[in-house]
Structure 1
Amino acid sequence: MAAAPLTATERASRVKLMIFDVDGVLTDGSLMFTAQGDTMKSFNTMDGHGLKLLGEAGIQTAIITGRRSDIVLARAQELRISHIYQGAADKVAAFVELMREANVTDEQCGYMGDDWPDLGVMTRCGFAAAPANAHPDVIARAHWVSEARGGQGAAREVCDALLRAQNRYEALLAAACGAARA
């Protein structure tokens, strides 16, 4: 008899490296251009805090994105994201290199993506997540889907889900409450 498929929570409990796409996941997917041709992006602070919490819990974080942007690099450095792959035309190749660099297996990786370029990684990793407004074909292949839209709390939701699945959420929350009283 075949074993029952893993639940999203069981998959999340195994994650040692959580990877995020940028446009449509860490941002709302909008690209703003200045008259000089510079690109601007907007990031959600709660999403950013969620990524910091993953780091505090010992879960590595990474970005794999098809675009190149100094803004993404600056945000990643601010959030202490140690693995950054920009301009990744082949996200699967970047994923394979990242697994080697981070010394993890595909089952120990999570990935949050929102559109077709993310599907190659999502179908290979142990925990595939998507924002509520992801493309329907991405949602159909995700193990877990946020209630929030990309750039509007979706990344924080998945971070909280990982922390809960790994029984680390309550300790981090208690520490935050204790720090608030001090």
Structure 2
Amino acid sequence: MKQVALIPLRKGSKGIQGKNKKKMLGRPLFCWILTEAIFSELDQIFVFTDDEEILKFIEKEYTWTNKVHPLLRSAENANDTASTESAMKEFVEKINYDFDVLCLLQATSPFTTSNDINKVLNKLDENYDAALSVVKTHRFIWSNEGKAQNYDIFKRPRRQDFDGLLIENGAIYATTKKEFVQSNNRISGKIAVVEMPEESLTEIDSLTDWEITEKLLAKRQKQLKEQKRIDYLVLDVDGVFTDGCVYYGKEGELIKKFDMRDGMGLEILRQNGVEVVVITSENSKLVEERMKKLQIKNLFLGVKDKFSLLKSFVLNKNTSFGNIAYVGDDVNDLTCICSVGWSFTPQNATVTLKNNADIILNQNSSEGAIRETCEWIMKYNKRYDI
């Protein structure tokens, strides 16, 4: 079966201005669900939005995969009163792609994983017409009239004896195309449910919600950490290789400051089986020339969503995040810092990064930070090289 996903995004947002594009742990919010969709069993993913900025971002950012497609959403189906079903209907009518299953994914559910998506999709292989994600709650539900809805007040059950209730978390819905065309509803027919963790029930309607969600995401990423032999060192450029400043010569040429000692440290790492990778948000000819001089073959320029690219790199190299060390200095490195086996920040990195890194280096960027990292890795890897 051909399985496609729809990620509907609206440009407007009442609760939090520009919510879908706002940085959650250093990444635009919608990137969380999009990344997991890419690495799921879905065949194609369509980001359906009226936001031109998001459409352009996707066109430039996800060239490393052929699964992602930006698609313009009409203003009529992107206003405050338009239903998600109306957007789904427009999408089905507009899309030039034959499919059997339509999966609706919500950007406001950043806890969704590719495994969650696959579980929902697999239900449609089990003779179900539709499936959705839910969370089990052991809360006691009451009506406005003061009546208990799911338990006997005279026989109050203990938590371990209470089956609880399943609540929609709004993260994932999947339906066959046939059922949707007949019902014009996200779920219909014979419906299955798939449980997700309780944290996925978190709503993002206020800045307080946002802060709570961000902390929970950081905690989750760190809990998933594994620390193995370091086979790859991933580096940012500005604020790691350089001091983060831009200098101009007499003729107005752009100048960046690099530390020559870093090159020798990286060469020693290569000789000892550690591959060097550079991922930078800047698309600079000067940086390209410097990395060529340092013989760094794994160079990725102009990357805004570093975590997605790094995840792709990990899979392509048949390695794991536990085999990666990462040096970053600012918020766009934050998710990577929270996810890799070992994370480092220069002494002059931002406070946010220093609060989340495994190791804060003694040296500043462009003043020995990379060389210090190289020496630390050499000592650390000795325990695996005996």
Q: 1:173 maps to which residue?
A: none
User: How far does residue 121 in structure 1 lie from its aligned partner after superposition?
Assistant: 0.9
Paired residue secondary structure (1:67): coil
3-state DSSP of counterpart to 1:87: coil
What is the CA-CA distance between 1:41 and the residue it aligns to? 1.1
Deviation at 1:39, TM superposition (A): 2.6
1:140 equivalent in structure 2 = 355
Tell whether the 8 Å contact from 1:33 to 1:39 is kept in structure 2 after alignment. yes
Change beyond 3 A, Cα 1:35–1:98: farther
Deviation at 1:37, TM superposition (A): 6.1
Residue 312 of structure 2 is aligned to residue 97 of structure 1: yes
Q: Which runs of 5+ in 2 are unaligned?
A: 1-221
Provide the rounded CA distance (Å) in 2 between the counterparts of 1:100 and 1:33.
40
Which letter does structure 1 place at the counterpart of 2:351? P
How much does 1:38 deviate? 4.4
Q: Is the 8 A contact 1:54 1:159 kept in 2?
A: yes
Identity of aligned residues (%): 30
Structure 1 unaligned residues grouped into runs of 5+: 169-182
Please state if 1:49 is matched with 2:255.
no
- In 2: Cα distance, 1:154 partner to 1:140 partner: 17
Match of 1:130 in 2: 345
Q: What letter corresponds to residue 290 of structure 2 in structure 1?
A: R
Name the structure where strand makes up a greater proportion of residues. Answer: 2
1:59-118: CA deviation from partner (whole Å, max 9, x where unpaired): 010001110111211221222212111100111112112223333211111110011111
| In 2: Cα distance, 1:167 partner to 1:108 partner | 14
Relative distance call for 1:43 and 1:101 in structure 2 (3 A) is: farther
Q: 2:235 aligns with which of 12, 20, 26?
A: 20
Q: What letter matches 2:293 in structure 1?
A: E
Which amino acid in structure 2 is aligned with residue 83 of structure 1? N
Asked whether the 8 Å contact 1:99–1:105 carries over to 2, the reply is: yes
Give the distance between the partners of 1:91 and 1:38, measured in 2 at CA.
28
What residue is the counterpart of 1:179 in the other structure?
A: none
Structure 1 distance, partners of 2:371, 2:270, is: 13
Please tell me the root mean square deviation across aligned C-alpha atoms, in Å: 2.1
Tell me if structure 2 keeps the 8 A contact 1:110–1:125: yes
Larger Rg: 1 or 2? Answer: 2
Query: Structure 1 residue 35: deviation in Å?
Result: 7.2
Per-residue deviation, 1:53: 1.1
Give the total of aligned pairs. 160
Residue 178 of structure 1 corresponds to which residue in structure 2?
none
* Bigger helix share: 1
The TM-score with structure 1 as length reference comes to 0.81
Identify the structure with bigger relative contact order (alpha carbons < 8 Å, sequence gap 6+): 1
Task: Please tell me whether the aligned partners of residues 17 and 104 of structure 1 are also in contact (alpha carbons under 8 angstroms).
Answer: no
Superimposed CA distance per residue, residues 7-33 of structure 1 (whole angstroms, 9 cap, x where no aligned partner): xxx94x621100000001011111124
Distance 1:100 1:43, change over 3 A: same
Q: Does the 8 Å contact 1:129/1:144 carry over to 2? A: yes
User: 309, 314, 322: which is aligned to 1:107?
Assistant: 322
Counterpart CA distance in 2 for 1:100 and 1:27 is 29
**Letter of the aligned partner of 1:110 in structure 2?**
A
